[in-house]
Every structure is written in C-alpha cells, then in structure tokens.
Chain A
Amino acid sequence: MLEMTKDTAAAGETKVSLKNLQLSFPDQSGGVKQIYQGLDLEIEKGSFTVLLGPSGCGKSTLLNIMDGLLQPNSADEILIDGEDLRDRPDLSRQMAYVFQGPRLLKWKTLAENAEFGLRGLGVQPRDRWPELMERYFAAVGLSEYMHHYPSQVSGGMQQRAAIVRAWVNEPQILLMDEPFSHLDEITAAEMRRILVDLWRAEEVHRTVVFVTHDISEAAQLATDIVMLTPAPSSICFRRKVDLPWPRHIESDEVMDLEKELRKAFAERAGVRF
C-alpha cells in the first residue's frame, strides 16, 4: 500500500493538454476521412497513461501530433507544461518516441543507434553519454550486445535497444506506440516488466504515454487508461488505476479491471468480442 501512494504521488499537475483537436486525411476515393472532430485530452504529470483503442482510430497519429511530427488541421491548444507546442517547437525535445517497430539504423551498432538519438535531441550533455548508455543498456539486459549490429540480434533485443534510444535522453515524456505488439508473448511480458521497473525506479516519475490495443497490456501497466472510439475518435471511457506493481495477470484485481475495460469497450466504443 505504501508503494501505491508513492507511485501516484505526482498526481494532479497537467503535463499535456490537447483541446478541440481537428484532423482529417484525404482518402483514396477523393473524399476526406475524419480522424478527430474536437478531441480533448489531458495527461497528468508522472502518470503512466495508456491510450487504448481499436486499430486505425488514430492512436499513432495522436502521438505524432504530441511530438510535433504532424500538424493537426486545427486545435485550440496543444500545451506541454502550459505552453503551446506550435509556438515553441523545441518543447518536443523533452519527448522521446518509441515506435511500433524498432526503426534502428541497420548500419549502426545498438550503441551508435542510441547515440544517434542523443545527438539529435541534444538534451543530455555529451560527457554523460557513456555513463547513460551503459546504465540503460544494462537495465534492459543488453550490455553485452551494445556493439552488435541490429541484424545480429533478435527482434526483441532490437525493440529493447529502441527503448534505450528513447530512455537515455531521460525524457520528461516518453511516447510509446505499441512497442511490444509484434513481439511474442513471453518477450513482451519480460519487456513490460523491464519498462515498469525502469519507470518506477525514478525519484520523480516520467510521464509515459503508451499506446496499445491490447486490453490485458493496458491493465498490467497503466495508472491512467484512456479509451478511444473508432475514427472519428473521441474519448469514450477514462479511469485511474490504483493497483500496485508487479501486477500479476491472473490476480483478481487485474482480471476485474480487464473485465471492466472489455465491457466499456463493448458498450461505449461499439467493439464486440
């Protein structure tokens, strides 16, 4: 119980705030496909927020907007720490993105890949790089493989390296887009454990925005769950989770949470199981 209060201690402050987001893409038939029609979303500082939604509802797109990679058609505000990202593009330097696939440069070793991100974002002083890389490669169990090329390690290891590439920047916001969805279940479970351990080990928790369409994954990780409807998407369900870690998949609490999420999905997002 003590642990639980520590993990949710930072609650209260808003880290990211999106208001009245509008976005559409042209579709093949020459029309437009509405992705967001006035979406509002607030993400708390230090929370582990899981965005849950069916495929194609615009979860990745939402992360891209937060990272400044994509401009919405319009938005009343895209605030990071109370400042608008569109006025201060450099705000996105506090964020690091873990993509759906590893997206490593195959001609660089895992360590060099991590360095690529460090050099690009430029938030960590250069003299700390070796120490940071050593620490985080060790944390994900890749110390021995730092100087291997991506082609020499397994898919799970590549994804771990991709997480290190993000984490070495010690970003205030960590954006993760279905990072484990194409891994096998055993590796994925291991990765989730590593991720939660890393996150909890910090004095002040980083804000994590984690996208998934896997309900059980959401139940295992989140302090905040946000559920999206199919496009044009809106938030149909949102709740906080106050369970301690490590969460066992078969524990009653987690099972109940999953059940609740499944029910909400069925009732509010019109998704059937």
Chain B
Amino acid sequence: MNWSVTPKSLLLNALPVAAAVLVWWAATTYILVQPRIYPTPQGVFTELVRIFKNEGPIGEPYTHAAATLWRLTIAWGGGFVAATLLGVLAGRKKWVFDFFSYPVWIAMAVPSVVWVYIFLVVFGIEEMVPILALMILLAAPVFLGTAEGVRSTPKELLEMCDSYKIGTRQRLFHFYLPYIAPYMVANARVSFAYGIRIVLIAEVIGLPNGVGILVGYWSDSLYMAPIVAWGLLLMATGMIVDYCIFAPLQRRIRREAEPRPASKRQPSGNSRLKRA
C-alpha cells in the first residue's frame, strides 16, 4: 500500500465518495421517493443518531453491539490462538499439514450460516453457537498463513541453530517468532476484517441478541435506513481497527523483519484477504 498521502491524492480519494453520496441523495430525493425502501442520506443519518442515542425497537443498540463485538473478539482471539499453534505444528511436520488440509478446506468452504444451522441442531440454541461457527471460519486462513510462515523459515538458519546447540526456548523466541511475526500480523488483520464482515451472518439466525438480529428485524420489516446505518458503523469499525492497529503494527514488524531477501516479500493484508 502506498502511504505517501498528499492533499491532491486525498482530494482524489474523497471525490468519488462525495459524488456517490450526492447521487444517492439526488436519486432518493427526486427519483425513487420511497424512504422505507430507498433510504435517503438524511434518513440514514437520523438512524445513526438514534443508534448513538441508544434508541431502538427491540432492545438497546448498545447491548446488541456489545454482544456482537464480544462474540467477534472471543471467536477471533480463540480461533487465532488455536490456529496459530496448529499452524506452527503443520509448518514443521508435513503430515500434520496434510491431515488438516481437507478439514480446513471444508471449514472455509461451508458458509457461516450453515455452520450455525449445524451447530444449532446439534447443540440447541446456545451462546456458543455463533462463536463456534465464527471461530472455525476465522481459524482456517490463520492456520494456512502460519504454516506458510513457518515453512518459509530458512533451512540454513535452522541448521545454524542445530550447530550452535540453541535451546528450544531461545529458538522459539529468537528464531521462529521473528520469522512468523509478519505472517501472524497479516493473518490477524485478514481474519479480523473477514470476521467483521461475517459476524452478522452467524448471528441472524436463532439468537436473542446481536447486530445481526437487529439487521434481520429491519430487513423483515422492509425498513432499510437502519440497515445502511449499521452497515456504515461496522464498516467504519473494521476500517478504524485496520488502519489504527493492524496497519501500523504490520509496518513496524516489517521494518524489524528486514533485512530479508527482496524476492521473499512479506504478505500484505490486502493480498491475503483474497485467500480468505
């Protein structure tokens, strides 16, 4: 990503977004006048204000948002830790990787709602269900990324460790960790961005709370403005976390990870997103 931000490029970035909002406004005000189905920007803004004022038809928005974020964090954290550990193993031993390759592929191929369906019928309605579904989906790409990172550790350096009789602890912290750190950050970044996009899907069915329930409710009552508002909020959350936490972290770690051979480029958050 190019971080050289000039006023001109910023203007160019913002221009089409502003134009899109303008078109949206004009279209909903003059052509498609039906504010329930074609919400106006003002309408969405009003909904945003209502959300911030904690007003809503089926419980407080804050509670719902908190439930969603909590689920996301737990699922993401748990999935990340488990998948990283497994990934390290898989990177070391080929048979572990082979063993997990189909399950991981299936985990990624099955959409989150279907996981929710399956868990719902197996476990009944439980708080755990969407978390589990999310965890499975988020863990899969992390697993693959970590295994790739471990496998990229140069063999010669491993031999060097052997020849200098470096202990396990030291090996872990001074050798493996620095090597896979960039992959871990990239994984965290990708899976979080992915998680925030799909957490709703896992929630829509069969749970008493969460933003997914709200969105499902508004969709059923054919009232679009709050849906757009929630979409904007989640999008903003995703972007803020990405730009304020992951992007700087990734840049720092990349700088530390140098010098590396130029050809072995670090995975970037965006390029890994594609694989998710």
State yes or no: do A and B touch (Cβ within 8 Å).
Answer: no
Instruction: List chain B positions with a Cβ less than 8 A from chain A.
Output: none
Seen from chain A, the residues whose Cβ lies within 8 Å of a Cβ on chain B are none
